[in-house]
């Protein structure tokens, strides 16, 4: 983000006024210099308060009444330029928002969020109606509104820094020193050690980008010998100890800024090139006299796209490099909006609503064929759509989860009795009329299918698993189509059959797939317990693929731990090796125990080429509720330790869902968190959310 305008009312030192950082219509000064005085020190704090977030500011233990002109409340309005991809989707997006600060006690306790609140758009007095006016973010996000602020006295952690994001409000450390002299910055030794490991040992792009730039600039501007920093082994404790005091002071803000940028933009390969705002109160105390020009130049080159705002004691005598004074950033402008009017819905059209399908919805494709053959216009909409002047609205809901039901509720409120709803998420007994069910699918409805066909050869299953909707909805296995009808001249097939291997003609189906060289995605998985030597031989001849048909893959299911050795013997018939991709769908959360789940995962890890996709049980309408009363036993901690050490070569992101589910159930059952499981959840993904997760889970057992 860049800060373009700040308006304030009833500030203690600044009273009422505004500050504009723009130069002309589309440029912004990279460096803005202010005299050091109480008003400008307050201005930095006002900016931090406005952009810091309503959840963070009350937790900085700063008496907010020192910002307000007693006895009035104080309010601020800001205009920011946002930057893709982390803050907005489109370049040139401007955001306006307002903040109200109400004087409170001398020290606000944690949780005193009432002292800082959002202004409604009608309460904003200065923002133009030409920009988007929304609530400011609360401050719990990691990359949105990237802001750093540094006070005149900077001290670093020494073995006390938290690199594990245990504090859900960690973002306050990014500007805490503007409010408190005792605030501490990044532990340089620990950060450089971790950065070196990720850059040199693990060869991570972002870490390498940061370390290489720090090495180059520290060496050039402060004569720090950094040659060994990129070597295989480096003792950063001794390296830091060997620096002069002035060198430590000079580079500490650069190290702290690098740490926060690397944390904030974990998916960027060059986080130091990200746009944001950095404020310094009296950096001339950090690097006085002749040390200031190289320090300013280092910060300028380290962070080429940052907006800097600094205060200094005597600007006329400040040795600020002239070439930096004239630097500016371009503020991107939004492309002109098209004046073309939105497309009108043809009167009398039929709307087909795909409420929640993960795949193209076959029932809607058949309905589309039916209405198009009548000469009707058909419109497909996803999730929800609210249109007038249509002749009919047909919605298909596959899942009964809360989000799907919420969408249906909104649709029913809008369309009333004219809405026709079907699908397994509503009523398993609802079926298309036979004359529509027999029609071929309309592939024009889902052009993303491309050259892929989709449909059923058979429906039904002979088993009556209590968690499964298929026996109720489809009955025993029976053939409903043939390959000629289904493929429609295509060579790729997403097969939706419930249990094709249970059909008496399963061998014939497999042989026809092999002879016709059809690429098949067995989307609903195969039952490995029904495999025999003949079926295994034929299945190996079939080109089994993932749903996008980008690689060969096999899909099986394993929903309990019964007869695992029988499964192993059937698996061996297929002759898989570690080079194969064999996905097992494992349902959890119905009636298995932790011990049984771990037994499944342990077993699958022993199979060459196998990996897991976990799927939580969601009851279908009228289906049984889960039974988890005995999920944990006296060996729960030992089993969780074993669980987190069962690592599959791929798809561990799927296992993370199971870890989170177990973690929540563990907290509810035992009144505490399993820290090893929490550490595993946040070891690789979304590390910045760890503290918020800990705080949220703590409410389960308070």
Decide if pLDDT at 113 tops 50.
no
- At residue 107, the pLDDT reads 39
Q: Please, which residues have CB within 8 angstroms of residue 632's CB and are 6 or more apart in sequence?
A: 593, 594, 665, 666, 669, 670
Cβ atoms 521, 547 nearer than 8 A:
yes
Q: Please, which residues have CB within 8 angstroms of residue 135's CB and are 6 or more apart in sequence?
A: 97, 118
CA distance 124 to 5: 13
Q: What is the pLDDT averaged over residues 602-616? A: 95
- At residue 255, the pLDDT reads 98
CA distance 28 to 31: 9
- CA diameter of the chain: 92
N-term to C-term CA, the chain: 38
Name the token pair of 422: 């079907």
Determine how many CB atoms are found less than 10 A away from the CB of residue 569: 12
Decide if pLDDT at 111 tops 50.
no
Q: Please, which residues have CB within 8 angstroms of residue 275's CB and are 6 or more apart in sequence?
A: 1, 2, 83, 146, 305, 306, 307, 329
Confidence of residue 697 (pLDDT cuts 50, 70, 90): confident
What is the percent of the chain where pLDDT is above 90? 71
Across all residues in the chain, what is the average pLDDT? 91
Please, which residues bridge with residue 395 across strands?
Answer: 353, 421
CA distance 264 to 275: 12
Confidence of residue 342 (pLDDT cuts 50, 70, 90): low
Locate the DSSP E strands across 223-317. 276-281, 306-312
Q: For residue range 639-656, what is the model confidence (pLDDT) as tens digits?
A: 999 999 999 988 788 899
Tell me which residue of 179, 329, 157 sits closest to 259, measured CA to CA. 157
Cα 545–chain centre separation:
28
- At residue 333, the pLDDT reads 80
Q: Where in the chain is the domain with CATH 3.30.750?
A: 451-534+541-557
- At residue 343, the pLDDT reads 62
Decide if pLDDT at 112 tops 80.
no
**DSSP character string of 595-656:** HHHHHHHHHHHTSTTEEEEEEE--PPTTPPPP--TTS--TTHHHHHHHHTT---SS-HHHHH
- At residue 686, the pLDDT reads 83
Beta strands at 350-354 and 31-35: parallel, antiparallel or unpaired = unpaired
State how far the alpha carbon of 256 is from the alpha carbons of 250, 452, 491, in Å: 11, 51, 56
Please, which residues bridge with residue 461 across strands?
Answer: none
- At residue 603, the pLDDT reads 97
Choice between 520 and 102, residue whose per-residue pLDDT is larger = 520
Q: For residue range 461-470, what is the model confidence (pLDDT) as tens digits?
A: 999 888 888 8
Choice between 107 and 47, residue whose per-residue pLDDT is larger = 47
CA distance 547 to 454: 10
Choice between 107 and 306, residue whose per-residue pLDDT is larger = 306
State how far the alpha carbon of 172 is from the alpha carbons of 53, 62, 143, 272, 691, in Å: 9, 12, 13, 20, 13
Please, which residues bridge with residue 280 across strands?
Answer: 150, 310
Q: What is the pLDDT averaged over residues 200-217? A: 96
- At residue 91, the pLDDT reads 83
Please, which residues bridge with residue 479 across strands?
Answer: 458
Please, which residues bridge with residue 33 across strands?
Answer: 310
Name the token pair of 371: 């209405």
Decide if pLDDT at 17 tops 90.
yes
Cβ atoms 345, 387 nearer than 8 A:
yes
- At residue 37, the pLDDT reads 94
Beta strands at 15-20 and 2-11: parallel, antiparallel or unpaired = antiparallel
Confidence of residue 307 (pLDDT cuts 50, 70, 90): very high
Decide if pLDDT at 336 tops 80.
no
Decide if pLDDT at 96 tops 60.
yes
Decide if pLDDT at 62 tops 90.
no
Decide if pLDDT at 143 tops 80.
no
Cβ atoms 97, 132 nearer than 8 A:
no
CA distance 588 to 600: 11
Q: Where in the chain is the domain with CATH 3.40.50?
A: 2-155+170-330, 350-435
Backbone angles phi, psi at 511, to 5 degrees: -65, -40
SS3 state at 473? helix
B/e letters for 381-407, b = 16+ CB within 10 Å, e = fewer, are eeeebeeeebebbbbbbbbbeeebeeb
Tell me which residue of 444, 477, 439, 483 sits closest to 460, measured CA to CA. 477
The domain 350-435 having CATH identifier 1.10.357: the answer here is no
Confidence of residue 41 (pLDDT cuts 50, 70, 90): very high
Confidence of residue 110 (pLDDT cuts 50, 70, 90): very low
CA distance 172 to 110: 13
Classified by CATH at the fold level, domain 451-534+541-557 comes out as Transcription Regulator spoIIAA (3.30.750)
Decide if pLDDT at 121 tops 90.
no
| Three-state SS annotation for 194-250 | HHHHHHHHCCCHHHHHHHHHHHHHHHHHHCCCCHHHHCCCCCHHHHHHCCCHHHHHH
Name the token pair of 531: 């495999």
Tell me which residue of 409, 420, 400 sits closest to 353, measured CA to CA. 420
Backbone angles phi, psi at 26, to 5 degrees: -135, 25
Q: What is the pLDDT averaged over residues 328-348? A: 74
State how far the alpha carbon of 59 is from the alpha carbons of 70, 109, 110, 141, 699, in Å: 21, 7, 5, 15, 19
What is the percent of the chain where pLDDT is above 70? 97
Q: Which CATH class is domain 2-155+170-330?
A: alpha beta
Decide if pLDDT at 114 tops 60.
no
Q: What is the pLDDT averaged over residues 420-439? A: 90
Peptide bond preceding 71: is omega within 30 degrees of 0, i.e. cis?
A: yes
Choice between 698 and 543, residue whose per-residue pLDDT is larger = 543
Please, which residues bridge with residue 310 across strands?
Answer: 33, 280
């Amino acid at each position: 983000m860049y800060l373009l305008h700040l308006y304030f009312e009833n500030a203690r030192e600044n009273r009422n006024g505004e500050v504009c950082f723009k130069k002309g219509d589309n440029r912004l000064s990279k460096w803005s210099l202010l005299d050091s005085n109480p008003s400008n020190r307050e201005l930095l704090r006002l900016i931090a308060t406005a952009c810091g977030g309503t959840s963070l500011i009350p937790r900085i233990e700063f008496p907010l009444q020192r910002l307000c002109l007693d006895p009035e409340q104080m309010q601020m309005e800001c205009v920011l330029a946002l930057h893709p991809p982390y803050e907005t989707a489109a370049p040139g997006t401007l955001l306006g928002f307002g903040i109200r600060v109400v004087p409170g006690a001398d020290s606000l306790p944690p949780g005193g969020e009432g002292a800082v609140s959002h202004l409604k758009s009608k309460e904003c007095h200065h923002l133009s109606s030409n920009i988007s006016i929304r609530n400011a973010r609360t401050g719990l996000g990691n990359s949105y509104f990237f802001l750093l602020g540094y006070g005149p006295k900077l001290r670093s952690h020494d073995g006390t820094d938290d690199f594990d994001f245990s504090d859900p409000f960690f973002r306050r450390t990014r500007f805490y020193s503007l409010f408190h002299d005792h605030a501490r910055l990044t532990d340089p030794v620990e950060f450089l050690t971790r950065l070196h490991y990720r850059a040199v040992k693990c060869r991570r792009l972002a870490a390498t980008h940061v370390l290489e730039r720090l090495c180059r600039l520290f060496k050039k501007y402060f004569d720090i010998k950094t040659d060994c920093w990129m070597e295989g082994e480096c003792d950063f404790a001794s390296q830091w100890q060997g620096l002069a005091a002035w060198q430590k002071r000079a580079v500490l803000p650069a190290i702290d800024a690098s740490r926060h940028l690397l944390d904030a933009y974990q998916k960027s390969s060059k986080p130091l090139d990200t746009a944001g705002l950095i404020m310094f109160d009296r950096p001339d105390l950090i690097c006085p006299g002749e040390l200031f020009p190289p320090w300013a130049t280092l910060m300028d080159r380290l962070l080429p796209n940052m907006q800097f705002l600094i205060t200094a004691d005597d600007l006329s005598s400040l040795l600020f490099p002239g070439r930096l004074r004239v630097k500016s950033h371009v503020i991107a402008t939004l492309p002109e909006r098209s004046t073309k009017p939105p497309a009108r819905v043809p009167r009398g059209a039929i709307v087909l609503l795909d409420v929640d399908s993960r795949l193209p919805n076959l029932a809607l494709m058949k309905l589309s064929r039916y209405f198009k053959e009548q000469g009707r216009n058909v419109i497909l909409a996803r999730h929800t759509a609210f249109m007038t002047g249509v002749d009919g609205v047909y919605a298909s809901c596959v899942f009964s989860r809360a989000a799907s039901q919420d969408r249906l509720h909104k649709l029913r409120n809008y369309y009333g009795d004219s809405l026709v709803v079907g699908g397994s998420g509503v009523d398993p007994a609802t079926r298309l009329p036979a004359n529509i069910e027999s029609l071929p699918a309309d592939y024009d409805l889902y052009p993303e299918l491309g050259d892929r066909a989709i449909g059923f050869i058979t429906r039904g299953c002979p088993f009556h698993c209590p968690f499964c909707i298929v026996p109720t909805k489809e009955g025993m296995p029976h053939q409903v189509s043939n390959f000629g009808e289904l493929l429609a001249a295509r060579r790729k097939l997403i097969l939706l059959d419930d249990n094709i291997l249970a059909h008496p003609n399963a061998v014939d189906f497999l042989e026809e797939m092999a002879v016709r060289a059809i690429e098949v995605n067995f989307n609903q998985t195969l039952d490995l317990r029904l495999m025999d030597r003949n079926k295994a031989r034929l299945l190996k001849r079939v080109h089994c693929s993932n749903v996008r048909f980008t690689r060969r893959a096999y899909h099986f299911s394993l929903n309990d731990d019964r007869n695992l050795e029988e499964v192993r013997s059937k698996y061996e018939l297929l002759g898989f090796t570690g080079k194969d991709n064999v996905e097992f769908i494992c349902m959890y959360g119905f009636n298995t125990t932790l011990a049984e789940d771990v037994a499944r995962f342990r077993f699958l890890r022993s199979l060459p080429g196998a990996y897991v996709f976990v799927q939580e049980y969601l009851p279908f309408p009228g289906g049984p509720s889960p039974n988890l009363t005995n999920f944990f036993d006296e060996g729960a901690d030992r089993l969780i330790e074993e669980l987190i050490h069962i690592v599959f070569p791929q798809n561990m992101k799927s296992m993370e869902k199971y870890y989170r589910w177990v973690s929540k159930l563990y907290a509810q059952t035992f009144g505490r968190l399993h820290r090893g499981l929490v550490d595993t959840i946040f070891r690789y993904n979304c590390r910045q959310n760890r503290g918020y997760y800990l705080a949220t889970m703590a409410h389960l057992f308070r």
